[in-house]
């Protein structure tokens, strides 16, 4: 519209100048009007073409199955493969219109999927087991995103805490969860100590600050792919070790979950989503920098701004944990699920045992 207004104004001005200049310039206004008419037609044609293209894109979207994916948190390195698959059209190739949703509450990825308000969630293995066993949630895992825990015992280097035995007599900050309490208890028992030999302090979300201010000696609940590179970026020297082992079975840090109704009624949606996600991850492996650039363009700066160098280090940490020599990306085993069901039952984290088939499904995406 602005271009057309400028052309019309220019034409009117040219005609006025020509009239004042006499008959010898009478052809100039006619030429300018003709040019303006041609330009106007061209612009109208361009606008019509763009409008038609927009309408075609909308029609194409209508043919896609909308799939809402609720993240565990705001976008960060672990979500790179999702945004890559969206950006490069892998979900659309499967007939899916994937919409990323951020959680308003901590367990939205689980609760919204269980309630049928979203198709896919990205959440934690042990929480899924607990929801199925204790609340009879109608959900199952459809693929493991990280093949081993990211959760760590983290401390400043000068505390000299490098294994569970070094935690005896120390103050450990945690987020107030029963799961963290059970993990610490198992670690202490594994080294022949008692849970009472550790002073557990609920610091809520202030895991890092409680440690850097000296309020606690170490924390459980920080992640090796996030808090470690972030604190190192800030100049802190650290010690850390994973929570698996020490009497605790290996577990998948995060999984994709969906509700049983979708699995039963639209298995092709689940299969297509996983196929496209795998393509996004394959790109992430071969071109981490290019895929990270896609993530950085989709970060939520208002709520969770990302630092390029921190996310680069996070990608280096994550990639070998998301796919290993013995486990492809998204693969999961009945053995891993059974070991965690047994461990959670033994430690009072679930009220009753559940069958592996109640918490996971093996999806063929070949």
Per-residue pLDDT of 146-186, as tens digits, reads 999 999 999 999 999 999 999 999 999 999 999 999 999 99
Tell me the CATH architecture of domain 62-148+252-358.
Answer: 3-Layer(aba) Sandwich (3.40)
Let me know: does 147 contact 252? Beta carbons within 8 Å.
Answer: yes
Q: Each residue of 177-210: b (16+ CB within 10 Å) or e?
A: eebbbbbbbbbbeeeebeeeebebeebeebbbeb
Q: Which CATH number fits domain 151-242: 3.90.550.10, 3.40.190.10, 3.30.460.80, 3.40.640.10?
A: 3.40.190.10
Pairing type for strands 218-223 and 151-156 reads: antiparallel
User: Which residues on adjacent β-strands are paired with residue 199?
Assistant: 171
pTM higher than 0.85:
no
- Report residue 80 as tokens: 């790179």
Let me know: does 45 contact 244? Beta carbons within 8 Å.
Answer: no
Let me know: does 238 contact 121? Beta carbons within 8 Å.
Answer: no
Q: Give dist(CA 105, CA 146) in Å, integer.
A: 22
The residues, any chain, with a CB within 8 Å of residue 331's CB and separated by 6 or more, are: 143, 144, 147
Per-residue pLDDT of 9-32, as tens digits, reads 333 333 333 333 333 333 333 444
Let me know: does 94 contact 276? Beta carbons within 8 Å.
Answer: yes
Per-residue pLDDT of 18-67, as tens digits, reads 333 333 333 333 444 545 455 555 565 666 665 655 555 555 567 999 99
């Amino acid at each position: 519209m602005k271009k057309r207004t400028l052309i019309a104004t220019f034409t009117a001005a040219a005609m006025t100048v020509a009239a004042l200049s006499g008959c010898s310039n009478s052809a100039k206004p006619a030429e300018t009007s003709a040019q303006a008419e041609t330009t106007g037609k061209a612009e109208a044609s361009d606008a019509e073409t763009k409008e038609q293209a927009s309408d075609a894109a909308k029609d194409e979207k209508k043919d896609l199955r909308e799939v809402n994916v609720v993240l565990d948190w705001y976008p960060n390195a672990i979500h790179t493969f999702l945004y890559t698959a969206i950006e490069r059209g892998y979900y659309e190739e499967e007939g899916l219109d994937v919409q990323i949703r951020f959680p308003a509450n901590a367990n939205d990825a689980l609760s919204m999927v269980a309630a049928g308000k979203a198709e896919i969630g990205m959440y934690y293995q042990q929480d899924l087991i607990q929801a199925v066993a204790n609340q009879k949630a109608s959900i199952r895992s459809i693929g493991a995103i990280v093949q081993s825990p990211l959760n760590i015992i983290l401390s400043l280097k000068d505390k000299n805490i490098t294994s569970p035995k070094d935690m005896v007599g120390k103050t450990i900050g945690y987020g107030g969860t029963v799961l963290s309490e059970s993990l610490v208890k198992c670690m202490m028992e594994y080294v022949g100590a008692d849970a009472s030999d550790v002073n557990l302090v609920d610091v809520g979300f202030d895991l890092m600050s409680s440690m850097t201010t000296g309020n606690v000696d170490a924390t459980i609940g920080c992640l090796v792919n996030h808090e470690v590179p972030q604190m190192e970026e800030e100049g802190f020297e650290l010690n850390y070790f994973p929570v698996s082992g020490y009497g605790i079975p290996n577990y998948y840090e995060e999984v994709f979950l969906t509700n049983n109704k979708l699995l039963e009624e639209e298995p092709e949606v689940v299969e297509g989503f996983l196929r496209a996600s795998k393509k996004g991850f394959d790109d992430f492996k071969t071109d981490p920098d290019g895929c990270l650039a896609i993530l950085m363009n989709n970060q939520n700066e208002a709520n969770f701004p990302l630092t390029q160098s921190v996310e680069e280090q996070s990608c280096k940490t994550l990639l070998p944990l998301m796919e290993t020599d013995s486990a492809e990306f998204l693969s999961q085993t009945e053995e891993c699920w059974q070991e965690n069901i047994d461990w959670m039952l033994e430690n009072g984290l679930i009220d009753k045992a559940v069958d592996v088939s109640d918490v996971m499904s093996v999806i063929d995406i070949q």
